[in-house]
Amino acid sequence: MAARTESAAEWGYVSGRCAALERDLLDGAFFRELLDAPDAAAAAALLGKTTYGELFPHPASLEAYDRVLDGHLRECLDSLGEGCPPDGPVDIVRREAELRDVHGLLAESDVARGSAEEVERWASRLGGGHPWLAGFSVPAERRGLFASQPVRAFSLWTDSAFLGELRRIAAARPGLAPFLDARISLAVLGVCWRAFREGLGMEWLDGFFFRDALAAPPRRALAGAGKDPAALAKLIAPPGFEPTAEKFDETFGRQADDFLTAVARGAAYEVSGPGRVLFYVRMLWVEHLNLRLCIAAVLTPLDRADVRTRLRNG
């Protein structure tokens, strides 16, 4: 895809909006206070002092909050998207939200217990709502593998399709490539680690994850590093990312998100352009993630001390 070229003026309106909206973003002190709320009423009172004040649900439940936050994020992205040229930062966060939704459905719906045929039919329908997911098919030589664990296979394929979409956006917008390249590398690292940890070998990764749009690391090196997160990170991670190997499962998600936020912050020097928009929508994504963590800790018996260590930097 040819790189898009636009003048700074075409980004001027939405860049200005993002700069103004940044003032309303919630900071770490707020999330720590929210995490200390003794109950749902206290959490709602705190949220009532923010731009989320009119949104908190009655009665409060984790599912209700999730629906509210999903709707709020869509509305924010749709509003910003009206003033954005296509294939920009807003589309990146939209794809992130869609990926989260698809994985949520795979984990929680009846599809998780379905047969290979049911999963394949469901997967083919998803492409109608999410074009980046169109085209799912199982090669004849992978039929047996797919039938043994169809949900895991489609989950790998979904991650690959998502990263292929990010590569498409990076080709259209080279200015966003530093962020997108880091996002892709960290996703590949996370997927490979989970696959090896769960007993899925190179056959699964080759069959459903490393496809045309996603180049694989050297096969022998990848297989050799499979059980060592430090070795995997050295092979796959973007320069400068140094995960905590001894607690990789517990810390990788937060460290990866914080690394990406730092990359996005580096793009915010643009007064008017996609970098400025990228920084705001990235911070909005982090804000929603932290809200979900805090609200879950207030409404369920989660260990709040553990949740505190999982809060992302803003």
311: domain CATH number? 1.10.132.50
pLDDT digits (tens, 9 = 90+) for 112-150: 788 899 999 988 888 878 999 999 989 899 999 999 999
Average pLDDT score over residue span 194-203? 93
Q: Is the four-CA dihedral 91, 93, 98, 102 of positive or negative sign?
A: positive
- Burial code (b: 16+ CB inside 10 Å, e: under 16) for 155-166 equals bbbbbbbbbebb
Q: Is the four-CA dihedral 172, 174, 179, 181 of positive or negative sign?
A: positive
User: In three state form, how does the secondary structure of 120-168 look?
Assistant: HHHHHHHHHHCHHHCCCCCCHHHHHHHHHCHHHHHHHHHHHHHHHHHHH
Confidence (pTM): 0.93
Query: What pLDDT shows up at residue 78?
Result: 96
Looking at the domain assignment, is residue 153 inside a domain?
no
> Distance between CA atoms of 91 and 53, rounded to whole angstroms?
27
Query: What pLDDT shows up at residue 293?
Result: 97
Looking at the domain assignment, is residue 244 inside a domain?
no
Looking at the domain assignment, is residue 257 inside a domain?
no
Residue partners of 301: CB distance under 8 A and separation at least 6 = none
Query: What pLDDT shows up at residue 7?
Result: 67
Domains: count for the chain = 1
Residue partners of 5: CB distance under 8 A and separation at least 6 = none
Query: What pLDDT shows up at residue 60?
Result: 80
Query: What pLDDT shows up at residue 6?
Result: 66
- The residue range of the domain holding 83 is 19-88+270-314
> Distance between CA atoms of 79 and 75, rounded to whole angstroms?
6
**Which residue is associated with the tokens 């050297």?**
218
> Distance between CA atoms of 200 and 222, rounded to whole angstroms?
13
Query: What pLDDT shows up at residue 47?
Result: 93
Looking at the domain assignment, is residue 142 inside a domain?
no
Residue 155 has pLDDT above 90, yes or no: yes
pLDDT digits (tens, 9 = 90+) for 224-273: 998 899 999 999 999 999 999 889 999 999 999 999 999 999 987 777 88
Residue 213 has pLDDT above 90, yes or no: no
CA distances from 88 to 41, 131, 201 (A): 38, 16, 35
Looking at the domain assignment, is residue 302 inside a domain?
yes
Residue 171 has pLDDT above 80, yes or no: yes
Average pLDDT score over residue span 99-115? 86
Looking at the domain assignment, is residue 215 inside a domain?
no
CA distances from 247 to 29, 65, 251 (A): 25, 30, 6
Looking at the domain assignment, is residue 51 inside a domain?
yes
Looking at the domain assignment, is residue 115 inside a domain?
no
